[in-house]
Amino acid sequence: MNGSWRRMKPWKTGLRHTRIGFAILMAWAGWLMIGDGATAQQFRIETEVFSDSSQAIARSLTLFDGKTTYDFLMTAEEGAGDTPKFVVEEVVVFDQAKQRIHLLDQVNRQQLELGHSELLSLVAGMQSSEVLRARDEFLLEPKLTESFDPQSQQLQLSSPRLDYQVQGQKIADSQILAHYYSFADWAARLNATDSRKLPPFARLQLNQALKRRGWIPTEVQFQLTTLEGAKISATAKHHTLVQLSDNDQLRIESVKKQLAEFPSVSLSRYRNLTTATK
Protein backbone atom coordinates (compact mmCIF):
# COMPACT_ATOMS: atom_id res chain seq x y z
CA MET A 1 0.00 0.00 0.00
CA ASN A 2 1.39 3.37 0.31
CA GLY A 3 4.58 3.48 -0.61
CA SER A 4 4.38 1.03 0.21
CA TRP A 5 3.47 -2.24 2.21
CA ARG A 6 6.93 -2.27 3.45
CA ARG A 7 6.32 -3.98 6.76
CA MET A 8 6.36 -7.61 5.64
CA LYS A 9 7.46 -10.83 7.31
CA PRO A 10 10.28 -12.79 5.79
CA TRP A 11 8.83 -13.73 2.46
CA LYS A 12 9.33 -17.42 3.19
CA THR A 13 6.58 -17.25 5.79
CA GLY A 14 4.45 -14.16 5.19
CA LEU A 15 3.47 -10.78 6.60
CA ARG A 16 5.32 -9.18 9.45
CA HIS A 17 4.29 -5.54 9.52
CA THR A 18 2.60 -3.50 6.87
CA ARG A 19 3.78 -0.05 6.11
CA ILE A 20 2.25 2.74 4.16
CA GLY A 21 2.80 5.52 3.32
CA PHE A 22 1.88 0.77 -0.62
CA ALA A 23 6.02 1.54 2.00
CA ILE A 24 4.53 -0.75 0.48
CA LEU A 25 1.50 -2.43 -2.26
CA MET A 26 -0.74 0.51 -2.18
CA ALA A 27 -3.99 1.85 -1.39
CA TRP A 28 -7.08 2.04 0.47
CA ALA A 29 -10.76 2.80 0.85
CA GLY A 30 -12.53 5.63 2.48
CA TRP A 31 -13.06 9.00 0.91
CA LEU A 32 -10.36 10.59 -1.14
CA MET A 33 -11.02 14.31 -1.03
CA ILE A 34 -9.20 16.73 -3.28
CA GLY A 35 -10.35 20.29 -2.93
CA ASP A 36 -8.97 23.73 -3.59
CA GLY A 37 -6.56 23.37 -0.65
CA ALA A 38 -4.94 20.23 -2.04
CA THR A 39 -2.20 21.08 -4.49
CA ALA A 40 0.81 19.40 -6.00
CA GLN A 41 2.85 21.39 -3.46
CA GLN A 42 1.06 20.24 -0.31
CA PHE A 43 -1.30 17.33 0.40
CA ARG A 44 -1.60 14.45 2.83
CA ILE A 45 -2.69 10.80 2.89
CA GLU A 46 -3.74 8.81 5.94
CA THR A 47 -3.58 5.04 5.63
CA GLU A 48 -4.87 2.13 7.68
CA VAL A 49 -3.93 -1.49 7.05
CA PHE A 50 -6.16 -4.37 8.08
CA SER A 51 -5.54 -8.10 8.20
CA ASP A 52 -8.30 -10.54 9.14
CA SER A 53 -10.27 -8.31 11.50
CA SER A 54 -11.86 -4.88 11.64
CA GLN A 55 -8.98 -3.65 13.82
CA ALA A 56 -6.16 -1.85 12.00
CA ILE A 57 -2.76 -3.49 12.41
CA ALA A 58 -0.73 -0.54 11.10
CA ARG A 59 -1.15 3.07 10.11
CA SER A 60 0.78 5.69 8.27
CA LEU A 61 0.60 9.40 7.61
CA THR A 62 2.24 10.67 4.42
CA LEU A 63 2.83 14.41 4.06
CA PHE A 64 3.70 15.82 0.64
CA ASP A 65 5.41 19.18 0.99
CA GLY A 66 6.88 20.52 -2.23
CA LYS A 67 9.60 18.16 -3.47
CA THR A 68 9.89 16.43 -0.10
CA THR A 69 7.65 13.67 1.27
CA TYR A 70 7.50 12.64 4.93
CA ASP A 71 6.16 9.15 5.65
CA PHE A 72 5.31 8.42 9.31
CA LEU A 73 5.05 4.67 9.88
CA MET A 74 3.06 3.63 12.94
CA THR A 75 2.60 0.27 14.65
CA ALA A 76 0.40 -0.73 17.58
CA GLU A 77 1.98 -0.94 21.00
CA GLU A 78 2.22 -4.50 22.31
CA GLY A 79 -0.44 -5.39 24.85
CA ALA A 80 -2.56 -2.39 23.90
CA GLY A 81 -5.79 -4.40 24.03
CA ASP A 82 -8.93 -3.86 21.97
CA THR A 83 -8.12 -0.24 21.14
CA PRO A 84 -4.36 -0.22 20.50
CA LYS A 85 -2.34 2.94 20.66
CA PHE A 86 -0.29 3.56 17.53
CA VAL A 87 3.19 5.00 17.90
CA VAL A 88 5.57 6.26 15.22
CA GLU A 89 8.28 3.66 14.71
CA GLU A 90 10.02 5.15 11.73
CA VAL A 91 9.91 8.26 9.57
CA VAL A 92 11.09 8.08 5.96
CA VAL A 93 11.98 11.31 4.19
CA PHE A 94 12.00 11.29 0.38
CA ASP A 95 13.93 14.28 -0.94
CA GLN A 96 13.31 14.43 -4.69
CA ALA A 97 15.43 17.51 -5.25
CA LYS A 98 18.56 15.93 -3.74
CA GLN A 99 17.64 12.38 -4.81
CA ARG A 100 18.17 11.18 -1.24
CA ILE A 101 16.12 9.07 1.14
CA HIS A 102 16.51 9.26 4.93
CA LEU A 103 15.15 6.59 7.28
CA LEU A 104 14.80 7.84 10.85
CA ASP A 105 14.60 5.17 13.56
CA GLN A 106 12.45 6.72 16.30
CA VAL A 107 13.38 4.08 18.90
CA ASN A 108 17.16 4.02 18.54
CA ARG A 109 17.39 7.63 17.36
CA GLN A 110 19.60 6.91 14.38
CA GLN A 111 19.27 7.39 10.64
CA LEU A 112 20.15 5.67 7.39
CA GLU A 113 20.78 7.81 4.31
CA LEU A 114 20.56 6.37 0.80
CA GLY A 115 20.99 7.97 -2.58
CA HIS A 116 18.65 6.97 -5.38
CA SER A 117 21.51 5.27 -7.23
CA GLU A 118 22.44 3.26 -4.14
CA LEU A 119 18.89 2.02 -3.73
CA LEU A 120 18.60 1.11 -7.41
CA SER A 121 21.78 -0.95 -7.04
CA LEU A 122 20.24 -2.81 -4.11
CA VAL A 123 17.11 -3.50 -6.16
CA ALA A 124 19.21 -4.81 -9.04
CA GLY A 125 21.19 -6.96 -6.62
CA MET A 126 18.00 -8.43 -5.20
CA GLN A 127 16.66 -9.28 -8.65
CA SER A 128 19.92 -10.97 -9.69
CA SER A 129 20.38 -12.86 -6.41
CA GLU A 130 20.73 -16.59 -7.03
CA VAL A 131 19.88 -17.28 -3.39
CA LEU A 132 16.57 -15.41 -3.58
CA ARG A 133 15.79 -16.81 -7.03
CA ALA A 134 16.24 -20.35 -5.74
CA ARG A 135 13.97 -19.52 -2.81
CA ASP A 136 11.08 -18.08 -4.86
CA GLU A 137 11.68 -16.94 -8.43
CA PHE A 138 8.09 -15.73 -8.84
CA LEU A 139 8.55 -12.86 -6.39
CA LEU A 140 11.56 -11.60 -8.36
CA GLU A 141 9.79 -11.79 -11.74
CA PRO A 142 6.05 -11.81 -11.07
CA LYS A 143 3.85 -12.33 -14.11
CA LEU A 144 0.54 -10.62 -13.39
CA THR A 145 -2.50 -10.42 -15.65
CA GLU A 146 -4.28 -7.05 -15.65
CA SER A 147 -8.06 -6.77 -15.98
CA PHE A 148 -10.69 -4.12 -15.30
CA ASP A 149 -14.38 -4.47 -14.44
CA PRO A 150 -16.18 -1.32 -15.70
CA GLN A 151 -19.29 -2.10 -13.65
CA SER A 152 -17.56 -2.28 -10.27
CA GLN A 153 -14.75 0.07 -11.38
CA GLN A 154 -12.25 -2.42 -9.98
CA LEU A 155 -8.76 -3.01 -11.31
CA GLN A 156 -7.23 -6.45 -10.80
CA LEU A 157 -3.68 -7.70 -11.22
CA SER A 158 -3.54 -11.41 -10.62
CA SER A 159 -1.67 -14.67 -10.97
CA PRO A 160 -2.22 -18.12 -9.41
CA ARG A 161 -0.24 -17.00 -6.34
CA LEU A 162 -0.66 -13.24 -6.07
CA ASP A 163 -3.74 -11.06 -6.41
CA TYR A 164 -4.39 -7.31 -6.15
CA GLN A 165 -7.92 -5.91 -6.29
CA VAL A 166 -7.94 -2.13 -6.38
CA GLN A 167 -10.45 0.69 -6.40
CA GLY A 168 -9.35 4.26 -6.92
CA GLN A 169 -10.24 7.78 -7.84
CA LYS A 170 -9.12 9.49 -11.03
CA ILE A 171 -6.98 12.56 -10.39
CA ALA A 172 -6.89 15.31 -13.01
CA ASP A 173 -3.86 17.12 -11.57
CA SER A 174 -0.84 15.57 -13.31
CA GLN A 175 1.55 17.11 -10.77
CA ILE A 176 -0.17 15.36 -7.86
CA LEU A 177 -0.01 12.06 -9.73
CA ALA A 178 3.67 12.51 -10.59
CA HIS A 179 4.56 13.40 -7.00
CA TYR A 180 2.51 10.54 -5.55
CA TYR A 181 3.90 7.84 -7.84
CA SER A 182 7.47 9.01 -7.45
CA PHE A 183 6.98 8.48 -3.73
CA ALA A 184 5.14 5.16 -4.19
CA ASP A 185 7.86 3.68 -6.41
CA TRP A 186 10.74 4.69 -4.15
CA ALA A 187 8.82 3.46 -1.10
CA ALA A 188 8.36 0.06 -2.75
CA ARG A 189 12.05 -0.12 -3.66
CA LEU A 190 12.99 0.32 0.00
CA ASN A 191 12.06 -3.35 0.51
CA ALA A 192 15.37 -4.15 -1.17
CA THR A 193 17.14 -2.86 1.96
CA ASP A 194 15.72 -5.72 4.02
CA SER A 195 15.98 -9.31 2.78
CA ARG A 196 13.15 -10.37 5.10
CA LYS A 197 10.61 -8.26 3.22
CA LEU A 198 8.76 -8.94 0.01
CA PRO A 199 10.62 -7.84 -3.14
CA PRO A 200 9.18 -4.68 -4.71
CA PHE A 201 8.56 -5.94 -8.25
CA ALA A 202 4.85 -6.83 -8.03
CA ARG A 203 4.13 -3.56 -6.29
CA LEU A 204 5.96 -1.61 -8.97
CA GLN A 205 3.82 -3.30 -11.62
CA LEU A 206 0.69 -2.29 -9.73
CA ASN A 207 1.94 1.30 -9.46
CA GLN A 208 2.38 1.47 -13.23
CA ALA A 209 -1.12 0.10 -13.88
CA LEU A 210 -2.67 2.67 -11.53
CA LYS A 211 -0.61 5.52 -12.95
CA ARG A 212 -1.75 4.69 -16.48
CA ARG A 213 -5.35 5.11 -15.32
CA GLY A 214 -4.60 8.39 -13.58
CA TRP A 215 -5.71 6.87 -10.26
CA ILE A 216 -4.72 7.29 -6.68
CA PRO A 217 -6.03 4.15 -4.96
CA THR A 218 -8.81 4.32 -2.39
CA GLU A 219 -8.73 0.63 -1.42
CA VAL A 220 -6.37 -2.24 -2.19
CA GLN A 221 -6.94 -5.86 -1.30
CA PHE A 222 -3.85 -8.06 -1.43
CA GLN A 223 -3.49 -11.83 -1.23
CA LEU A 224 -0.36 -13.94 -1.58
CA THR A 225 -0.04 -17.71 -1.40
CA THR A 226 3.36 -18.84 -0.10
CA LEU A 227 5.24 -21.82 -1.48
CA GLU A 228 4.09 -23.73 1.60
CA GLY A 229 0.45 -23.00 0.71
CA ALA A 230 -0.25 -20.43 3.43
CA LYS A 231 -2.41 -17.47 2.42
CA ILE A 232 -1.41 -13.96 3.42
CA SER A 233 -4.01 -11.22 2.98
CA ALA A 234 -4.36 -7.57 3.86
CA THR A 235 -6.48 -4.57 2.95
CA ALA A 236 -5.20 -1.01 2.89
CA LYS A 237 -7.45 2.05 3.03
CA HIS A 238 -6.67 5.69 2.23
CA HIS A 239 -8.90 8.02 4.20
CA THR A 240 -8.24 11.55 3.01
CA LEU A 241 -6.12 13.70 0.77
CA VAL A 242 -6.28 17.29 1.99
CA GLN A 243 -4.21 20.36 2.74
CA LEU A 244 -1.55 20.06 5.45
CA SER A 245 -2.69 21.05 8.93
CA ASP A 246 -0.81 23.11 11.51
CA ASN A 247 0.03 19.86 13.34
CA ASP A 248 1.41 18.45 10.11
CA GLN A 249 3.71 21.45 9.79
CA LEU A 250 4.91 20.88 13.37
CA ARG A 251 5.63 17.23 12.53
CA ILE A 252 7.71 18.31 9.55
CA GLU A 253 9.71 20.77 11.63
CA SER A 254 10.38 18.06 14.23
CA VAL A 255 11.66 15.69 11.53
CA LYS A 256 13.95 18.40 10.14
CA LYS A 257 15.56 18.65 13.61
CA GLN A 258 15.98 14.88 13.73
CA LEU A 259 17.73 14.93 10.34
CA ALA A 260 20.32 17.26 11.87
CA GLU A 261 20.59 15.45 15.21
CA PHE A 262 20.33 11.70 14.54
CA PRO A 263 23.71 10.08 13.73
CA SER A 264 24.02 8.26 10.41
CA VAL A 265 24.74 4.53 10.54
CA SER A 266 25.38 1.79 8.00
CA LEU A 267 22.60 -0.25 6.42
CA SER A 268 23.57 -3.39 8.34
CA ARG A 269 23.56 -1.54 11.66
CA TYR A 270 20.30 0.24 10.92
CA ARG A 271 18.47 -2.94 9.95
CA ASN A 272 20.35 -5.15 12.39
CA LEU A 273 20.13 -7.92 9.83
CA THR A 274 21.74 -9.27 6.70
CA THR A 275 20.60 -7.72 3.43
CA ALA A 276 19.79 -9.75 0.35
CA THR A 277 22.73 -11.80 -0.89
CA LYS A 278 23.77 -11.25 -4.46
Q: Per residue, what are the HEC states of 35-73?
A: CCCCCCCEEEEEEEEECCCCCEEEEEEEEEECCEEEEEE
Write the CA distances from 77 to 58, 241, 272, integer angstroms: 10, 26, 21
Which residue in 197, 254, 159 sits closest to 6, CA to CA?
Answer: 197
**pLDDT of res. 5:** 42
CA dihedral 92, 97, 99, 101 (to 10 degrees): -10
Domains observed in the chain: 42-271 (2.50.20)
**pLDDT of res. 95:** 97
Among the listed ranges 85-89, 229-233, 269-273, which one has the minimum average pLDDT value? 269-273
Query: In this predicted model, what pLDDT tens digit does every residue of 27-55 receive, in sequence order?
Result: 333 334 554 445 557 899 999 999 877 78
Query: In this predicted model, what pLDDT tens digit does every residue of 151-166 receive, in sequence order?
Result: 999 999 999 999 999 9
**pLDDT of res. 147:** 97
The continuous run of DSSP H or E covering 154 comes out as: strand 154-158
Cα–Cα dist 259/241, whole Å: 26
**pLDDT of res. 54:** 77
Residue 233 has pLDDT above 80, yes or no: yes
Region 58-87 average pLDDT = 87
Query: In this predicted model, what pLDDT tens digit does every residue of 1-35 receive, in sequence order?
Result: 554 444 444 444 444 443 433 343 433 333 345 54
Q: What is the pTM of this model?
A: 0.85
Please provide residue 93's backbone torsions phi and psi, each rounded to the nearest 5 degrees.
-110, 120
